[in-house]
Amino acid sequence: MSNGVSGLILVGVGGGGCRMAAAARRMYGEGMEVLVFDTDEVAIRALAGLRGHLFGATRLNRQGAGGVHSNGRLAAQDDLSHILSQLKDARIVVLVACLGGGTGGGAVPVILQALRAEGKTVLCFATLPFAFEGPERRQIAERDRPFLEQGADTLVLAPLDELYDGLEQAALPEAIRRADATLASGLCLLWRLLLTPGYIGFDPAHLQQLLSSAGTARFGSSSAAGADRAAEAVVGLGRAALLRRGEALAGARALALGILAGPDLRLAEVGEIMDRLRAVCRKDVHLEMGVAMDPAFEGRIELVALAFEQWVPSDRRLAAVAGEQGSDLLGRAEGKSDGKLRVGRGKFGDAGVEKTVIKGEDLDIPTYQRQHIRLDR
């Protein structure tokens, strides 16, 4: 499987994740490498135009994980080598999944850990269930979420309820279609930004560097046309539901902004966008921007933003991870109060003890952490 010269690939896992990835591929067209993996044969076959990869078939009888985390986890472990072989040429994996089910919640942490062990950069987009799906689904999602936070370089959360106003009045298929379209259009803009050579480029290597410095992020996009398009695009970004209507911009420690426009983009417009954004962000925000120009965007300005909730320069992050090895599972022992799950070597790491590695597994890390076994407390 070739992942193109860019080494950038979109991967969908689980029913919702595969459908979102397929929606992005339909919207983008040729040039977006997409692979989809699920435990449910019927769901995967329904994805027109994409060759899906079934995993865990022996264990789950091709019928999905039934909402059970351990089913998804074991299915991914069964077929991990097949999954990894499909992704061997990728350098940056953008993985989309929906939390609330067993495949997205159980298999994704296993895949994330394996991809990162192979040195790949992983940006993970995960949705949280609609409120109408009930508290059980929400609880499943909340319990699985730390595994994704811990496993990905950067996790972008997209609560389905926050996607747009007037949701309560929408018919269910319309709500899901809108959710998929919102995420798909954001992903398409991100792809265009990364793959279009620009004067002020924001290429995959740039993204890789940024993701290795960040933790969790919010994601949003906006579009404007007409004489006042620069100002309106920033206002639109401030209203983007997934950016919490400005809250995510205001609180961001780092912001990656992509400006996509036609050759009619004026320098003054770029300046205006940056000035207006700086005015709504923290004074000490780390701001990175890129401009992609494509005649297809003539007359419009599209903005796409990743607003990082934390940002530690990658060299400091590496040092922090090394120091963190002595902390407990929730990172509390060393004064960390973010409740993030961390896989560490505990005192084995601190003492500089040589790793006990058998069949690629570091046995100094407790089994339940290595195996992503969720402890219900």
| CB nearer to ligand GTP: pick between 19 and 25 | 19
Among 12, 15, 146, 151, which residue sits at the site for Mg ion (rule: CB under 5 A)? Answer: 15
Distance (Å, whole) CA 296 – CA 103: 38
Distance (Å, whole) CA 97 – CA 128: 10
Stretch in the footprint of ligand GTP (CB under 6 A) among 63-71, 285-293, 319-327, 334-342 = 63-71
Among 111, 122, 160, 224, which residue sits at the site for ligand GTP (rule: CB under 6 A)? Answer: 160
Handedness of CA 336, 124, 142, 346 (dihedral sign): negative
- Taking the CA of residue 34 as centre, how many other CA atoms within 13 Å lie in the half-sphere pointing to its CB? 30
Per rule CB under 5 A, is residue 144 in the interface with Mg ion? Answer: no
Distance (Å, whole) CA 71 – CA 77: 10
Among 4, 31, 66, 135, which residue sits at the site for ligand GTP (rule: CB under 6 A)? Answer: 66
| CA distances to 146, 183, 225 from 127, in Å | 13, 10, 30
* b/e map 178-188, b = 16+ CB within 10 Å: bbbbbbbbbbb
| CB nearer to Mg ion: pick between 68 and 329 | 68
Give the CA dihedral 109, 254, 183, 74, nearest 10 degrees.
0
Which residues, 6 or more positions from 217, have their beta carbon under 8 angstroms from its beta carbon?
Answer: 154, 155, 156, 306, 307, 308, 309
Q: Is 261 helix (H, G, I), strand (E, B) or coil?
A: strand
* Residue 19 binding partner per list ligand GTP, Mg ion, none, with a CB distance cut-off of 5 to 8 Å that depends on partner kind: ligand GTP
Distance (Å, whole) CA 369 – CA 373: 6
Enumerate residues 299-328 that contact ligand GTP by CB under 6 A.
none
- What is the side-by-side order of every strand in the sheet holding 286-293? 52-54, 34-38, 8-13, 92-98, 121-128, 154-159, 216-225, 300-308, 254-261, 286-293
Stretch in the footprint of ligand GTP (CB under 6 A) among 99-107, 291-299, 317-325, 331-339 = 99-107
Least distance to Mg ion, CB of residue 62, Å: 11
The count of other CB atoms within 10 Å of the CB of residue 32 is 21
Which residue's CB atom is positioned nearest to Mg ion? 15
Stretch in the footprint of ligand GTP (CB under 6 A) among 65-73, 115-123, 166-174, 324-332 = 65-73
Least distance to ligand GTP, CB of residue 87, Å: 18
| CB nearer to ligand GTP: pick between 179 and 248 | 179
Question: Interface mask (CB under 6 A) for ligand GTP, residues 19-38, using x and -?
Answer: xx------------------
Per rule CB under 5 A, is residue 153 in the interface with Mg ion? Answer: no
* Residue 9 β-bridge partners: 93
Among 98, 152, 285, 303, which residue sits at the site for ligand GTP (rule: CB under 6 A)? Answer: 98
Stretch in the footprint of ligand GTP (CB under 6 A) among 78-86, 101-109, 190-198, 246-254 = 101-109
Stretch in the footprint of ligand GTP (CB under 6 A) among 126-134, 238-246, 299-307, 363-371 = 126-134
Per rule CB under 6 A, is residue 180 in the interface with ligand GTP? Answer: yes
* Angle (nearest 5°) at CA 354 between 352 and 358: 145
Per rule CB under 6 A, is residue 41 in the interface with ligand GTP? Answer: no
Least distance to ligand GTP, CB of residue 250, Å: 26
Q: Which of 47, 38, 46 is nearest to 66 (CA)?
A: 38
* Residue 93 β-bridge partners: 9, 122
Among 52, 64, 151, 159, which residue sits at the site for Mg ion (rule: CB under 5 A)? Answer: 64
What is the binding site for ligand GTP (CB under 6 A)? 14-17, 19-20, 39-40, 64-67, 98, 100-104, 127, 129-130, 133, 137, 160, 176, 179-180
What is the binding site for Mg ion (CB under 5 A)? 15, 40, 64
